[in-house]
Structure 1
């Protein structure tokens, strides 16, 4: 599904989803296909589930967003320095 479809099925909800198909464009991540993992009333609950999944599967491209947003705006961040 795409973001518009997800928004119509889960209005005014926090959602945790995985990007199934995505690409980069001018420092932004454009998500073409989405797989919903779960929906929430509270953003903190979505973030908590994100952390649990990310801890065990860090290579998955997961996002938390609120469906009131008409468009997803995901800015890519570059990590500088050394991770320990």
Structure 2
């Protein structure tokens, strides 16, 4: 699904979703297509589900957001790894 479709289908809700098509652009992660996994009225419930999914499948790209958000664009934050000496 596209984000606009999700917003129309699930207005004013928190959703947990998997990004099935995404790309990086200018230091941001942009989600092009997604699959809605669950929807919630409460952000804490959505966050718990996100954590559960991420723990069980860390290789997949999961997010949770409110459908009032205008676009699916996230700043990429890379954790640095210190080298061994």
What is the TM-score of this pair, normalised by structure 1? Answer: 0.92
Q: Mean alpha-carbon deviation: is it higher for 38-47 or for 68-77?
A: 68-77
Name structure 1 gaps, 5 residues minimum. Answer: none
User: Between Structure 1 and Structure 2, whose CA radius of gyration is higher?
Assistant: 2
Task: Structure 2 unaligned segments of length 5 or more: list them.
Answer: none
Measured after TM superposition, the shift of residue 80 of structure 1 is 1.2
**Structure 1: which 4+ aligned runs deviate by more than 3 Å?**
none
Partner of 2:46: 46
Aligned length: 82
The alignment's C-alpha RMSD in Å is 1.0
Structure 1 residue 2 displacement after superposition: 0.6
Q: After superposition, where does 1:1-84 map in structure 2 within 5 Å?
A: 1-81=1-81
